[in-house]
Chain A
Amino acid sequence: MNGYLINRARAFSSEVYRFFAFQWEVARRLFRPPYYPKAVWEQMDRIGVDSLSIVVMVGFFTGFVLAFQIGYAMMRFGAKLYVGGIVAVSLVRELGPVLIAMVFAGRVGAGITAELGAMQVSEQIDAMKALATDPLRKLVMTRFLASVLMLPVLVVIGDLIGILGGMLVGVLNLGLTVSFYKSSVVNSLVLNDLFSGLLKPLVFGAMISLVACYFGLNTKGGTRGVGEAVTRTVVVSSVLIFLLDALITKLLFLIGI
């Protein structure tokens, strides 16, 4: 039993070491061309634009349900007037970045791992290297940059749609006026909320793309290996989203943001 645990711990620490070494290799390439702008643009379209419909749905229903739950709970205290502000702050600071990042990990992260994993097992990655192209630049950097740029944009869109979803409940079910809901939202949100709401998706976007590319490029064992790599990407990304969210939230509170 002890031997089993020691072996598991060794395998885990070696995997963590390899992941950090991979990040270092990507970081080394970050400040040196070539950057493949056309490929980054294509990835931004695939990663960002194609994710828009699901982000809109997640944002809308989150805001909708949040306003319902908060509205009916606060009606008991006669405080339903604050619904707009609470929905907005909850969405912008916390729920928007975390929920949309989870969707992003499931849709985009899994897709990246499946694509790179399939390329790995069919020797296309080796072929790329043999043709004197660096896969870390051509495949990883392009997806990394696209994710870092697009996840904050998706989160902003999701937040806005969520606030609109909350407004629908506020107006139709809680008897608030549009202008009152709007002013409650505007008065409650401060610059720090926006900073927090943009910092988190930036970090999540970087993390998800790196995890996805790492597991994709290290896929072994044919199509079954691709499936396992995709599962790992979704699980690891999801856990890291919550872990990083807690760390960033604590850090921002510590520095007063």
Chain B
Amino acid sequence: MIDIKDIEKSFEGKQVLKGVSLSLQDGETIVILGRSGCGKSVLLKIILRLLVQDRGAVIIDGIDTSRFREEQMMPLRKRIGMLFQGAALFDSLNVMENVAYSLREHTKMPEAEVRDKVAECLEFVELSGTEALMPSELSGGMKKRVALARAMAIGPSYMFYDEPTTGLDPLTSRKINQLIRKLQAERRVSSIVVTHEIANAFQVADRFVVIKDGEILLTGSASEVRGSKLKFVQDFIKGGVIGHGEQ
């Protein structure tokens, strides 16, 4: 379980998160909805301690990481897989080396086993046979799926997805959503999905958290979000909220 308590974060005087609290239960998938730039991705990076919060606490499996140094975070990061918005594949490594990265870094697995595990992960994301390709040879959707295979290779308990379907066509987006669901169903992985794409959100969420202006506006199930009387939420569902400055 991951507990986030009263997280505050500012960048150059601008407060992005104003006391955000939420908890991720084992096996559930939370979708964090909000406009671009409202601090959703920042929250994921704070949980992983890629960014450090100004105030508040992050508790992962009962361990408070608020005062952790970089090296203390390493064992906890092995429990969390992260799919970055731009996939963030290592562009000097091929698909095989990308997916095998954490296996080679953190396990003493024999090379033959590493190859089998990579093949299994690539099969899971339906990209078997792409081992020798370089990231520059992959489409946007393929990059995201390879990044997903890389994140799940070491068997994390938690998965974070930062805008997993942004910039992808509807069919590829659906494929990614199916993979998120499959990962949760088959491996009991707890997930946080950050997105501003409402249609995709409804496909994967057990619970929604809507963020507006750095604060949680609403937490609830899909039906609670659909039934919400809040104008911001309704605008979001109807696709009315696009840019900044709208109320």
Contact = CB atoms under 8 A, between A and B. Distances in A.
Interface of A: 119, 122-124, 126-134
B105 A132 contact: yes
A37 to B, nearest CB: 14
B84 A123 contact: yes
Contact of A124 (B50, B77, B90): B90
A126 B106 contact: no
Contacts of B5: none
A134 B70 contact: yes
B186 interface: no
A131 B75 CA distance: 10
B78 A132 contact: yes
Contacts of A129: 48, 50, 70, 77
A122 B50 CA distance: 14
A123 B88 contact: yes
A36 B147 CA distance: 24
Interface residues of B, number: 26
B74 A134 contact: yes
B246 interface: no
Nearest to A133: B105
Contacts of B101: 131, 133
Interface in B71-93: 71, 74-75, 77-78, 80-82, 84-86, 88-91
13 contacts: A119-B90, A122-B86, A122-B88, A123-B86, A123-B88, A124-B90, A126-B45, A126-B88, A130-B80, A130-B81, A131-B77, A131-B101, A132-B77
A219 B48 CA distance: 21
B152 to A, nearest CB: 12
Given A126-B88, A130-B48, A130-B77, 14 more contacts: A119-B90, A123-B85, A124-B89, A124-B91, A129-B50, A129-B70, A129-B77, A130-B50, A130-B81, A130-B82, A132-B78, A132-B102, A132-B106, A133-B105
Given A132-B77, A132-B105, A127 B88 contact: yes
A177 B105 CA distance: 59
Contacts of B105: 131-133
Nearest to A32: B71
A-B pairs, top 7 by smallest CB distance, nearest first, are A127-B88, A123-B88, A132-B77, A130-B82, A132-B74, A132-B78, A131-B102
